[in-house]
Amino acid sequence: MVIKTIIMLSLFTVPLALLSSGLVTATWQLFTLYILSGFGMAGIGMGVMHDAIHGSYSKNKNVNKLLSYSFNLIGGDATVWRIQHNVLHHTYTNIDHADDDLNAPFFLRFSPHAKHYKSHQYQHLYIWFFYGISTISWITTKDFVRLKRYRDMGFLNKKNEYKKALISMTAWKLAYYTYAIVLPMVLLPFAWYTILLAFICMHFVTGLLVSTVFQVAHIMHDNTFPLPDEDGAMNNNWYAHQFATTCNFAPKSKFLFWLLGGLNYQVEHHVLPDVCHVHYQNLAEIVKETAIEFGMPYHVKKSFFQAIVDHTKTLKQLGKKDMVIAIGEMIQE
**Domain boundaries in the chain?**
2-332
**Residue 301 forms beta bridges with which residues?**
249
Is this prediction's pTM over 0.85? yes
Q: Which of 90, 94, 122, 98 is nearest to 108 (CA)?
A: 122
pLDDT for residue 326 is more than 50: no
How confident is residue 171, by pLDDT bands cut at 50, 70 and 90? Answer: very high
Single-letter amino acid code for the residue at 127: I
148 or 322: which carries more pLDDT confidence? 148
CA dihedral 21, 26, 29, 31 (to 10 degrees): 100
Task: Tell me: pLDDT of 330 over 50.
Answer: no
Average pLDDT of span 7-34: 95
Q: State mean pLDDT over 191-208.
A: 97
What pLDDT, on the 0 to 100 scale, is given for residue 67?
97
pLDDT exceeds cutoff 60 at 124: yes
Q: Decide if pLDDT at 37 tops 60.
A: yes
Q: What is the DSSP string of 41-91?
A: HHHHIIIIIHHHHHT-S-S-HHHHHHHHTHHHHTT--HHHHIIIIIIIIHH
328 has a pLDDT exceeding 70: no
- What's the confidence (pLDDT) of residue 297? 95
Q: What is the mean pLDDT of residues 165-190?
A: 96
Summarize the confidence of residues 246-275 as an average pLDDT: 96
* Spatial separation of the C-alpha atoms in residues 54 and 91, rounded to whole Å: 13
The mean pLDDT value for 263-288 works out to 96
Lowest mean pLDDT among 25-29, 223-227, 238-242, 326-330: 326-330
Output the pLDDT for position 323. Answer: 57
Tens digit of pLDDT for each residue in 54-106? 999 999 999 999 999 999 999 999 999 999 999 999 999 999 989 999 988 99
Residue 324 has pLDDT above 90, yes or no: no
pLDDT at res. 232: 65
The dihedral built from the CA positions of residue 325, 326, 332 and 333, taken in this order, carries a sign that is positive
